[in-house]
Amino acid sequence: MKIVILNAGPRKEGNTSKALQYLLERYKNDDISTFDLVDYDIKHCMGCLNCSKTGECIYNDDMNIIYDAADAAELLIFTTPIYFNSVTSIGKQVIDRFQRNYARRFIIKSSPKADANKKGILLATAGSKEKNHEFDGVRMPVDLMFKANGIREYEIIIIENADKNGIENIF
């Protein structure tokens, strides 16, 4: 299976990366490509809505690498530490640029809405415990990002209290 990891965490040795290593024990025999989003030159979406008309983004930057990878993925894994109850700013920047794929699926309809062969996983770590839906700020944008990429079936793994408890034997 082709697995693509979009890592929105800036700390490559942090809790999120450690959690990912445990998660990947499930996929020892699969073809895995990891993209540390912090290393890519990806511009902010400026809301020009060119993609709503043409299905193309006006920018020619490293997001093209991420589009190709997401297209090829049979399992798309999005990893992020929780920042201010949401994804990191790097992660949000990439999610916003997936508007191009949202437009293709739901506005100009040049791509099928859903791809049954594609699945997703959201893996997030948080310093605190969730008490009252605080982490919906991660779940909701990632839900729409998966839908923009044709993914309807996905797993959510949120590891709470990661700073205090550490990331050991979590799965």
Ligand X SMILES: Cc1cc2nc3c(=O)[nH]c(=O)nc-3n(C[C@H](O)[C@H](O)[C@H](O)COP(=O)(O)O)c2cc1C
What is the per-residue binding string for ligand X in 41-80, x denoting contact by CB under 6 A? Answer: ----------------------------------------
Q: What sign has the CA pseudo-torsion 57, 36, 154, 75?
A: positive
Which of 5, 9, 90, 91 touches ligand X by CB under 6 A?
Answer: 9
Is residue 34 involved in binding ligand X (CB under 6 A)?
Answer: no
Min dist CB 83 to ligand X, Å, is: 4
Is residue 82 involved in binding ligand X (CB under 6 A)?
Answer: yes
Which of 47, 84, 132, 164 touches ligand X by CB under 6 A?
Answer: 84
Which of 85, 107, 152, 158 touches ligand X by CB under 6 A?
Answer: 85
Q: Which of these ranges, 8-16, 23-31, 41-49, 69-77, lies near ligand X under the rule CB under 6 A?
A: 8-16
Round to whole Å and give the CA distance between 56 and 45. 12
Q: Which token pair is 72?
A: 């090829």
Count Cβ neighbours within 10 Å for each residue of 74-91 and write b for 16 or more, e otherwise: ebbbbbbbbbeebbbebb
Round to whole Å and give the CA distance between 28 and 39. 25
The count of chain residues that interact with ligand X, using the rule CB under 6 A, is 17
Q: Which of these ranges, 15-23, 48-56, 62-70, 103-111, lies near ligand X under the rule CB under 6 A?
A: 15-23
For the segment 111-170, give every residue that binds ligand X (CB under 6 A).
125-128, 162-163
Which of 15, 93, 101, 111 touches ligand X by CB under 6 A?
Answer: 15
Residues lying near ligand X in the complex (CB under 6 A) are found at 9, 11, 14-17, 81-85, 125-128, 162-163
